[in-house]
Structure 1
Amino acid sequence: MTTGNTYIVGDIQGCADGLNALLDKINFDRATDRLFAVGDLVARGEDSLATVKLLMGLGDRFHAVLGNHDLHLLAVTQGIRKVKKSDRMDNLLNASDLPDIIEWLRQFPLAYQIDENHVMVHAGLYPLWSVPTLLSLSDEVSQVLKGDDWVTMLNNMYGNSPTRWKKSLKGKDRARFIINACTRMRFLMPDQSLDFDAKGSPMDSPSNLIPWYQCPNNQLQRNEKVVFGHWAALNGKTRNDQFIGLDTGYVWGQTMTALHLESGKRISVSA
């Protein structure tokens, strides 16, 4: 397979028009280029169904990790949760090929190694984990999500506890922590427990809370970069080039951003 350019796009959130505009701006070549997405493919935007159709149409040229909205969509389709009006996913939920869409989404992991230097995950890298640990824990969840017991796991994923990681965690508590760290994490307490209340920018948040990417991680190698989304209030700014934030808030009227992996350049379109 011929490989051209590699792009990673931030949170799309059902904004099909923005995604099309961004692909046009980067002159995306469906025959040779590859597109990766940091999760939250659906919800809140004007057309989640068109977004999914476009991405599915890219075949093996596209790969993603799951975000909290993607997992929530799966839960809604199984009657575990009710869709919110703000999700704006009626056309997707009423699609005739919804079963195919569900199967397609279930194949994506929580974390994915793009190349030897870049790993992507929706929310971030929990500071007590190395990149290999992140990928291994993602695999644990993926094996269940792809298997027969996937609905049970989705049913058990809702909740904020446990907030601290222990290797000894088992069962639904272990899976819930892995999912929360990979798809919902923003701030940590000084004891490295997850905080789910603060969602704004670090400048506007309680002083005792620490953005996950500012917590020391002795297991992260110098050549490793973590590409993530989820946190629109950062507007892509982490002040550390090992942590690349790509959620720049298109669905909130800001921009949609793609990272060109080969050059490190960011390309954006305005809402």
Structure 2
Amino acid sequence: MSTYLIGDIHGCYYELQTILEQVNFNQFMDTLWLTGDLVARGPGSLEVLRLIRRLGDSVRIVLGNHDLHLLAVYAGIVRNKFKDRTTPLLEASDADDLINWLRYQPVLQVDNQKKLVMTHAGITPQWNIDTALQCAREVEAILRSDSYPLFLNTMYEDMPNNWSQELSGLARLRFSTNVFTRMRYCFPNGQLDMICKDMPNKAPEPLRPWFTLPSPIAEKYSIVFGHWASLMGNGTPKGIYGLDTGCCWGGELTLLCWEDKKFIRIPYTGIKNT
């Protein structure tokens, strides 16, 4: 029984198949954790969602910003972008089932036995684990409700960028969503910066990668995230693992076996399927 964690797939179906074959993944014995951004940019988003859904309870997922964008496209809030290569998914006969399955997926995974936390982008250092869980459940509840298009229509904003228990309504949901799916940098006090996308050695002062700031969650849990492909898995402190290595951009798909901490990487091929 093994636990495998895989970085952002982005529709790279062939590479996903290949990496699961390399570890002889058994859905009846093993568990697969996925850091989000399952879809968009790669050639096989439809096939990726069908495979992951078929694997059932053996998979633990978090939603990423590209997954939420797909939900917004489906809801008619934003236009479908040609570069996302998701038209075959949106036009598939099972599109409704796949999209509705997707919006019922969580934005945070916590395993208290393994002391393991996974989100797509990260965890703000302003939160403890109870606050993170509470905020995740709030986002998940609105995504699963009939009001999800209203929420998705307001998520494309950067404010508020500072946590307060007094935050409420759509402002609170937007802050939480930005933390879970978009965050890269914070100011030293934990306030979010939603603009900078540079590498850490080029980021302006006083910005810091979120994972370099003291965090009550990082003191007790290992944290796995994706989202930040340009890091290529480098530069994180002990116990924090960035698994997005830019497969859809010509990089690699990365898998981490939790039990022995060994990595497997599959180069991008551009092949749609086998």
TM-score by length of 2: 0.93
* Aligned pairs for 1:228-267 within 5 A: 228-267=225-264
Q: 1:71 aligns with which of 68, 90, 96?
A: 68
Cα-to-partner distance string for 1:227-254 (whole Å, 9 max, x where unaligned): 1000011111234122111101111111
Aligned position for 2:83: 86
Code of the residue aligned with 1:179 in structure 2: it is T
Q: Does structure 2 conserve the Cα–Cα contact (< 8 Å) formed by 1:213 and 1:238?
A: no
Structure 1 residue 39 corresponds to structure 2 residue 9? no
Aligned residues: 267
Aligned position for 2:134: 136
Code of the residue aligned with 1:45 in structure 2: it is G
Distance 1:237 1:132 in 2: 28
SS in 2 for 1:52: helix
Aligned position for 1:98: 95
Aligned position for 1:160: 158
SS in 2 for 1:103: helix
Cα deviation for residue 52 of structure 1 reads 0.7
Structure 1 residue 15 corresponds to structure 2 residue 12? yes
Cα deviation for residue 222 of structure 1 reads 3.3
* Aligned pairs for 1:156-235 within 5 A: 156-217=154-215, 219-220=216-217, 222-235=219-232
Following superposition, which runs of at least 4 residues in structure 1 exceed 6 angstroms of deviation?
A: none
SS in 1 for 2:46: helix
Q: Does structure 2 conserve the Cα–Cα contact (< 8 Å) formed by 1:238 and 1:244?
A: no
Cα deviation for residue 221 of structure 1 reads 5.5
Q: Does structure 1 conserve the Cα–Cα contact (< 8 Å) formed by 2:212 and 2:236?
A: no
Cα-to-partner distance string for 1:151-174 (whole Å, 9 max, x where unaligned): 211112111111111110111100
Distance 1:134 1:220 in 2: 9
Q: Percent identity?
A: 42
Distance 1:115 1:18 in 2: 30
Cα deviation for residue 49 of structure 1 reads 0.4
In 2 relative to 1, CA 239–171 (structure 1 residues): closer, same or farther, beyond 3 Å? closer
Runs of 5+ in structure 2 lacking a partner? 269-274
Structure 1 residue 55 corresponds to structure 2 residue 52? yes
